[in-house]
Structure 1
């Protein structure tokens, strides 16, 4: 049953009284609201609050500054600047500037950087005088080989050691070597006991007429211009005065394998080459002086390549590649028997992979040339080395045996690149790592069949089928430094030049073939 709606009535005094004392009922009134605050008690505006907080914070910081003890220099930092710099040069510890901001400020100077580079890359002969003023503000001392390698690794890891800085340092490095070469040549000629008369006997005879004016030893080691000409320290620009760019046109070479390249490798500021040429002096039975250009002497004696120089991260840039090429050239003219170039083979292959992923054929070419020069197995190692993978006993090495052969994974990575870039990359890899190719690899076979119209692909397919008869004599290989054997030139789709020639490196005087 529905109930009638309940009417809502106003509260009566009686109901109110039930909640209150009966005595309060007659005096019940509506109570006043909460009283308003005075203006001084109101919360200030947000902008005023921020100003007050800022003022409080500044006052607190000022009080803290007043109570904070002043920075006390350590015993090392308190030394005179000149003494602190000499300690740095004696230790050759490139991490020393990171010890404190004060030491970093004392040691952060271009003249100090230049002295470090000279210590790291100058190779003295141990007998001839050294121009010590070129090391200022450092006092020169001869660094042993172990410390030199450590110093090179440290210097190349410093932020200030850029390609531009190394190029600017090559003038000093070249002058250091030219001065020593001048003293060696002067001593050698004095030991020949050439008579003063007739004077014609003291005028050197040379086989190459173009070197006749350069052959006489300058009268003084202080004449820089004559030293540079005599020791062939600079790259002479072409007649038009324009130096050609670094690098090669791989596509043009592939189209015309016999084309000769006229490309200049990296040089320093003022066109200083990474080596000087040393002269050899002899006399005949008539006491007539004869001279020949003997060998190159490195002015940038590179013995170590840190990982970041080789890995090409995030990708290879022109400046990164040119720095590597410059250091490679310096290592080329280091005297043999003074230790191998130190670097990580795994990092070298990472750099190759980076070049392949970005289809940078020039970077891959430079790295393969470095691999050939540094990874060749010695005769003793060769005797203990197993035959190439997946080869039958009747087969042989088609390239020089290497202590660390080109990984097969690089070939697979090249196959994954779009055509025609994959063909150029594969051509380079085959010229250095043909012995790393198994005869039954599915990835390589698939790539060769898919691109059967390409000459490199057809060569690879025939090689894997075993249908090639290279006809090589005993002891000969198909590729040496990327160049085909003379018996097979013109038959296969590869440039008839070495990696060294293809890059455009200066190699005369290194004591090895290009």
Structure 2
């Protein structure tokens, strides 16, 4: 006997007279469920119109009944309060305030105030309000108006260095402070520096030079040298390195003053490490401009720099550049690292040799086995940092089919002596110092002659990856 199969769900049974109800009328020729009337559809809870109304009621947030007094102010007043307080946490306290203060002109005003080193007002030793009156009184009324116009909607009050350092740190932590936005505001910083230190100090120029300077300020000309005289008939020369610095020289007193365009006081780790999105083309441009503007391009290290940065972040950036095969980013980071290290560790008492982590050389071998250029850039920074008796690098050098392979094998045999010489003489002992080859060392002479085909190699700190004149000019 077969066992009946039990099925779930509603069983359909044909109509019989014993059911006590009238026979249902089929809705079509094949029968089926009767169609609902229009009134039934509207009353049904599963109706699409009613369901859409319910979803709309759930999705819409409840509007706030009352805004605070600050939030209910006009946007212009909210902007003035924010720029007066310079508290970047204000827009974070309310989405209404964030919407009111999230505009390009606010970003621009904060960037100019944070990165313009208005040292003439800062060094006056007065309170900010007094310093402002001194500066504006010394300048012509038209020149002062131009500065205020460049900084609007900000009511400009010069900041002391500690105040600017705090503001700069707050701005750099903001998500809107991107490399692209900083690069876009560099021309305005150039105009501010020229206006403050040349046009506002009663320097008289010939009419043709005035027209040429106007073209330069409009980014329509590439003339970067101007002459003028002051009220005492002293002769001055202004030399502009676009996007980097402004140098003013006095012929009579032989004094020379350089003003940086980008007055940065600290470099965030995310700018150096490249861990967010790697090193794209604007990022590499910004790093090179940052290096030049910070003074990390001199042939000899000065005293410890005032710019705060992390060497660990630089080493992470070197690793990232090696992984990406980005030779330009690698070169700039190595220059920044060597300059800052030597500035902090070179003194009359003790000088420490500059060294790189040996792992960088292993990384260069692994990521570019057929291209020794990355390895050679590391070598030019610190040849004594090559790991001695490393089997991986030794095998790589043996596999190279050019003159660099045999040279590297012989150099690794001399590494203990070369490391000792660099420790005893951190300046004259290394094969390379600031990228300059020490031709008095025989292994360095062989590298220049056999590998590079050169007689000498000058330092690389003054070498530039960018044509700054073309960076300044716009079509």
Q: Normalising by the residue count of structure 2, what TM-score does the alignment of the two structures yield?
A: 0.67
- The residue number in structure 2 matching 1:296 is 258
Q: Identify which of 383, 390, 414 aligns with 2:364.
A: 414
1:442 paired to 2:404: no
- The residue number in structure 2 matching 1:317 is 280
- The residue number in structure 2 matching 1:112 is 106
Residues 184 and 271 (structure 1), Cα distance of their counterparts in 2 relative to 1, 3 Å cut: closer
Number of matched pairs: 388
Q: Distance in 2 between matches of 1:441 and 1:58?
A: 72
- The residue number in structure 2 matching 1:93 is 87
3-state SS of 1:440 partner: coil
Residues 291-344 of structure 1 deviation map (CA, whole Å, 9 limit, x = unaligned):
67x243111112222222222244321122112222222222899779532222
- The residue number in structure 2 matching 1:274 is 244
Residues 69 and 101 (structure 1), Cα distance of their counterparts in 2 relative to 1, 3 Å cut: closer
Q: Which segment drifts farther, 71-80 or 155-164?
A: 155-164
Instruction: Flag the structure with larger Rg.
Output: 1
3-state SS of 2:440 partner: helix
Residues 420 and 334 (structure 1), Cα distance of their counterparts in 2 relative to 1, 3 Å cut: closer
- The residue number in structure 2 matching 1:241 is none
Task: State whether residues 109 and 154 of structure 2, in contact with CA within 8 Å, keep that contact through their aligned partners in structure 1.
Answer: yes
Residues 32-84 of structure 1 deviation map (CA, whole Å, 9 limit, x = unaligned):
3584687899795999868625415526866998x966432123313343332
Structure 2, unmatched stretches of 5+, are 2-15, 28-32, 125-134, 137-143, 225-239, 469-475
1:351 paired to 2:317: yes
Q: Distance in 2 between matches of 1:47 and 1:307?
A: 63
3-state SS of 2:198 partner: helix
Structure 1, unmatched stretches of 5+, are 6-29, 187-215, 238-269, 284-290, 386-400, 508-514
- The residue number in structure 1 matching 2:47 is 52
Q: Identify which of 175, 194, 212 aligns with 2:191.
A: 175
Q: Which segment drifts farther, 341-350 or 271-280?
A: 271-280
1:433 paired to 2:399: no
Q: Distance in 2 between matches of 1:166 and 1:412?
A: 35
Task: State whether residues 132 and 139 of structure 1, in contact with CA within 8 Å, keep that contact through their aligned partners in structure 2.
Answer: yes
Q: Which segment drifts farther, 102-111 or 31-40?
A: 31-40
Q: Identify which of 455, 467, 485 aligns with 2:403.
A: 455
Q: Which segment drifts farther, 348-357 or 469-478?
A: 469-478
Task: State whether residues 215 and 221 of structure 2, in contact with CA within 8 Å, keep that contact through their aligned partners in structure 1.
Answer: yes
3-state SS of 1:500 partner: coil
Query: 1:491 Cα shift?
Result: 3.4
- The residue number in structure 1 matching 2:329 is 363
Q: Distance in 1 between matches of 2:465 and 2:55?
A: 67
- The residue number in structure 2 matching 1:244 is none
- The residue number in structure 2 matching 1:498 is 459
Query: 1:449 Cα shift?
Result: 2.6
- The residue number in structure 1 matching 2:18 is 32
Q: Distance in 2 between matches of 1:234 and 1:373?
A: 33
Query: 1:415 Cα shift?
Result: 1.2
Query: 1:170 Cα shift?
Result: 2.6
Query: 1:482 Cα shift?
Result: 1.5
Residues 440 and 88 (structure 1), Cα distance of their counterparts in 2 relative to 1, 3 Å cut: same
Query: 1:179 Cα shift?
Result: 2.7
1:73 paired to 2:34: no
Residues 73-98 of structure 1 deviation map (CA, whole Å, 9 limit, x = unaligned):
12331334333223322333334333
Residues 256-296 of structure 1 deviation map (CA, whole Å, 9 limit, x = unaligned):
xxxxxxxxxxxxxx99432112112426xxxxxxx67x243
Q: Which segment drifts farther, 139-148 or 45-54?
A: 45-54
3-state SS of 1:375 partner: helix
Task: State whether residues 426 and 456 of structure 1, in contact with CA within 8 Å, keep that contact through their aligned partners in structure 2.
Answer: no
- The residue number in structure 2 matching 1:374 is 340
Query: 1:428 Cα shift?
Result: 0.7
Task: State whether residues 212 and 223 of structure 2, in contact with CA within 8 Å, keep that contact through their aligned partners in structure 1.
Answer: no
RMSD of Structure 2 on Structure 1 (CA)? 4.5
Which one has more relative contact order, counting CA pairs under 8 Å at least 6 apart?
1
Q: Normalising by the residue count of structure 1, what TM-score does the alignment of the two structures yield?
A: 0.62
Task: State whether residues 243 and 289 of structure 2, in contact with CA within 8 Å, keep that contact through their aligned partners in structure 1.
Answer: no
